Chain A
């Protein structure tokens, strides 16, 4: 597929189709409706199944069923709808099912607003559902990267038998950018564990389940899940370092804010302030090691988020007290301008 100008939501949907998505189950919610609409129009043409479910809750349960039966499946929603999916996501994680959840985030809490925000970081990385589980969270910074991460998400989810979330702020969902979608076919993963029905000829019954009433069994299950998450943390961290080689100050940002921060870095560098950007591309697994290493070389760090401060706590954990970690944010759908970031950095550089 050659380069095309596409709206983020539509590009995400097309990338999923190109990655071999068998089934999409979704429900309308602003600002990701175009994903559902695009899927309803085009998914069947490549042999896939589209269902507009009666709710986000029903949709994630349809994903759970389809994934349990061996399909490559996904759903999409926005913040309040992702909140509804938490039960289903926990079930997918507990039953070790591969699936992709696209989250186009908007202002909260509650019904919130429809403009972009990053207030779901905690919900995504700490698991809004019950129990000890993790969802891999990929955070693109634009439409092109979003399409690459959707493809990555299917691969990772099937490699690890785990839900994977692609969390993009509403800006990315709605804006149009030139994009080239990878149409190479994704490898097909064998799924001998799937409940596809042929229990008799297979010789064993496949049961998809997260219930372990025996505490010995449930603890062992949790320990096994932890081992899986350890592997993910060891192997799947993705982070971008921009101008960090000589930086005195590290800015940490993801998604659209990372691009605004880059503009701020340009302005500050022109004034002689040596500032760089650490951009986590995976929010889980979080680049703790890389941020901790950077803390040896900078005076302080500052996270710039479209929230009241969520990723900042992970940065503080990573830095482990070596240097101060400050926060600058806007919420409710308000988006900061580069000057706000520059001003925030300067205010911490000793009131210049």
Chain B
């Protein structure tokens, strides 16, 4: 008899505060598993951001610094520059990274800081009650786009993985999703690769993860996964957008 799956040491015992079915729970676990499997827990500093995951410093079993909204990449730069041998990662949502934090995320990549960014894109502002996000889909109803996102007034959704891939300092940019067991396993491989790149001094890495907010979207947890797979992935294509280390 062998245990083939159990809770990772990369997570504390604190129960997650997320809604039932929230993919933050899956993604936290994937990050924690990667840190444990790569034996990085004893040299990692997590940078928590502001959003539903504001309390992520309670859940990751490592040192952590809580950053102001949008500023996590700058905080990560500060840590990494004084501790270049440590693993530093940010965990940010779409408001934190793609709205208030667009300056900081672009510039951290531009500098080529050897950090890893976990970007949880669920096309909505969950923590504050379901407002429109920069990644909200056209026509999607949120509390600040009650008639559906109007691209003529509110712009098109922003594709961060594509934007970031153009930056010379970015070493590895991939977009994945957590919509079913296959895609979750693939997401874990991407996250692991990103941490391996950091471990080997390979430069700035970001994994954008299409995820769900079933409460904000007004869907059941299972239907919310379908929305990721069918609607979100249609607008935000999955794949590797930049891989400096890939064989030519």
Contacts and interface: CB of A to CB of B under 8 A. Distances in A.
Interface stretch (A171-179, A199-207, A233-241, A244-252): A199-207
B247 to A, nearest CB: 32
Contact of B78 (A65, A95, A207, A211): A65
Interface in A43-83: 49, 51, 53-55, 57-59, 61-71, 73
A148 interface: no
Nearest to B58: A207
Contact of A22 (B44, B82, B111): B82
Contacts of A23: 78, 81-82
A66 B67 CA distance: 12
A198 B41 CA distance: 8
Interface stretch (B69-77, B149-157, B234-242): B69-77
Most chain B CB neighbours (cut-off 10 Å) among A55, A198, A199: A199
Chain A binding surface SS class: mixed
A68 B48 CA distance: 13
A95 B66 contact: yes
A310 interface: no
B63 A199 contact: yes
Contacts of B55: 211, 213
Contact of B103 (A58, A63, A95, A208): A58
Contacts of A54: 103-104, 107
A63 B63 contact: no
A87 B107 CA distance: 19
Interface in B65-122: 65-68, 71, 74-79, 81-83, 86-87, 103-104, 107, 111
A55 B110 CA distance: 14
Interface string A305-333: 00000000000000000000000000000
Interface residues of A, number: 42
Q: Contact size class for B?
A: 35 or more
A88 interface: yes
B81 A62 contact: yes
A127 to B, nearest CB: 16
Contacts of B87: 197
A254 interface: no
A66 B78 contact: yes
Contact of A58 (B41, B44, B47, B104): B104
Interface string A73-109: 1000000000000011001000100000000000000
Contacts of A207: 57, 63-66
A121 interface: no
B61 A205 contact: yes
Contacts of A243: none
Nearest to A49: B81
A284 interface: no
A209 interface: yes
Contacts of B167: none
A61 B74 contact: yes
A331 B76 CA distance: 40
12 contacts: A54-B104, A61-B71, A62-B77, A63-B78, A65-B79, A68-B78, A69-B45, A69-B79, A87-B68, A197-B62, A207-B64, A213-B55
Interface of A: 22-23, 25, 49, 51, 53-55, 57-59, 61-71, 73, 87-88, 91, 95, 195-201, 205-211, 213
Given A61-B71, A64-B78, A69-B83, 12 more contacts: A51-B111, A54-B107, A63-B78, A64-B71, A65-B74, A66-B82, A69-B78, A196-B63, A197-B44, A197-B83, A199-B63, A213-B55
